[in-house]
Amino acid sequence: MKLTPLELMTKLISFPTVSRDTNLPLIDWVEGYLGSHGIKAYRWPDPDQPHKAALFAHVGPWEEGAVVLSGHTDVVPIDGQDWSSDPFTVTERDGKYYGRGTCDMKGFDALAIWALVEAQTRGVKHPLQLALSFDEEVGCTGAPPMIEAMQPVLPKGGPVIVGEPSMMKTVTGHKGGQGLRTHVIGHEVHSSLLHIGVNAIMASAPLITWVNDTNVANRDKEPGPLAAMFDPPYTTAHIGMISGGTAHNITAGECDFAVSFRVVPGEDPQAWCDAYTEAALQVQSDIQAIHPDTRVELSPWFRVPALVPEDNGAAEALTRQLTGDNETHVVSYGTEAGQFQEAGYSAVVCGPGDIAQAHQPDEFITIEQFNAGHAFMEKLLARLQQG
C-alpha cells in the first residue's frame, strides 16, 4: 500500500531515532516499505555501532547521473524540553505539523521516500536515488562512510539535494567545521601551595583567551568574496562546554573542553586547528616548566567540509529550475552537502521548513512548507519522466 507524504512523515517520526540511540527500526521499516514497492534498498551497517545503519536505493534506468535525495535519519534529543504534545507523534495544530524531526529533517525524508516510490510506480526515464544517513546531529559522521559505500553498489549519482530546512531556497554554500577535544592534565596540590601545583582549569584559560582573540581578529579582517556572503562574514571559534576540578581548595587535576571552528569556504579548517595546536603546545611547555607530569592532549572531534558555491553547478541549476528561486543563499551551519561535494558530487541544500524551528521544543513544519516540498517532488518527478 502506498502511503502519502504525511503518513510517511508520521511513520518516520514515530521512531525515536535520537542520535545516541538506534535507528535500525526506522531503517528496517523503510527497507520493507521500499521492498513492498519492488525497490531494493542497500544498507551500510556501521561496524563500530551495530545499532546504526545508513540506507540507499536507486530507481529508474541503471545508469549514472541520478538525482540524489539525501537526508539524515537521526534527530536531536528532547531532554529537558517542554513539549505541548508527544514529540514522536505528528500533531496538527494551527496550520503546522508538530513533532521531533518534522523540520529537521524527517519531513524531507518522507517526501524523498514518497518520490522514490512514485518514480518506481510511474516509471522514469532518468534515475533517482535516495540516501539516508545517521549521526548527522553529532558531527555529520554518518554520511562519509555511507557515500563511500554507495560507490561500488549504485551507479554514480549526479546532482545531490540535501533536504535540510531552507524554506525551499537553493543554498549553494555553507561554512565548514572542525573541532578538537582538549584535555589538560594538571598537578593537584592544596591550593595554598598553588605555586608548586598546576591548576588545569587556570592553565586552560590562555586557550580560551586564544579563542576569544581569534574571533576578534577574524571579525576585524577584511572579508574575502566568499566570506562576505556569510553572516558573520568570517571564521568563528567556539567552546560550548567545559568541565574540571574537584574542590575549591585543590588545584584542578584535569580540565576538559572542546573547541570548534566554523570556517568560511576558501579557508582551510586544518590550518585553524594547527594554529590552536600551536597555542596548546605553548601552554603545555609553560605548565611542564612547573611540573613535568602535566600535559595538554588534543584529539580530533569532528570535521565537516564547507559547501563551496559551484560554477554552473548541476544541483544548483536543477533546484533553481524546480523552485524558480534564483537568489543567492548561504548558511552558517554545516550539512552533509559539503561531504557529497567533497566526494565529487554537485550538491546543494534545499528542503522544506525553517532552520529556526530545528532542535526546538515544539519543533514544527508549516503545512504550507511541507506542501511546497511535495510540489517540488512532483516537479522533479515530471522532469525525470521526460525524455
What residue ranges bind Zn ion (CB under 5 A)?
A: 104-105, 164
Which letter does DSSP use for residue 175 in this model? Answer: -
- Minimum CB–partner distance for residue 74 and Zn ion (Å): 8
- Minimum CB–partner distance for residue 353 and Zn ion (Å): 10
The residue among 358, 258, 359, 340 whose CA lies nearest residue 66 is 340
Residue 183 β-bridge partners: 256, 297
Closer by beta carbon to Zn ion, 143 or else 252: 143
- Minimum CB–partner distance for residue 312 and Zn ion (Å): 27
User: Alpha helices, DSSP H only, in the chain?
Assistant: 5-14, 24-36, 106-122, 143-150, 200-220, 269-288, 314-323, 337-342, 367-385
Closer by beta carbon to Zn ion, 199 or else 335: 335
Closer by beta carbon to Zn ion, 118 or else 164: 164
Closer by beta carbon to Zn ion, 99 or else 127: 99
CA atoms within 13 A on the CB side of 207: 35
Closer by beta carbon to Zn ion, 251 or else 339: 339
- Minimum CB–partner distance for residue 205 and Zn ion (Å): 34
Which letter does DSSP use for residue 223 in this model? Answer: P
d(CA 334, CA 173): 9
DSSP assignment string, 66-93:
EEEEEEE--B---TT---SS-TTS-EEE
- Minimum CB–partner distance for residue 124 and Zn ion (Å): 27
- Minimum CB–partner distance for residue 314 and Zn ion (Å): 23
Closer by beta carbon to Zn ion, 104 or else 135: 104
Closer by beta carbon to Zn ion, 164 or else 316: 164
Tell me the chain's radius of gyration from C-alpha atoms: 23
Chain residue at closest Cβ approach to Zn ion: 104
The residue among 260, 157, 245 whose CA lies nearest residue 204 is 245
The residue among 100, 8, 1, 66 whose CA lies nearest residue 374 is 8
Grid cell locating 49: 555501532
- Minimum CB–partner distance for residue 110 and Zn ion (Å): 14
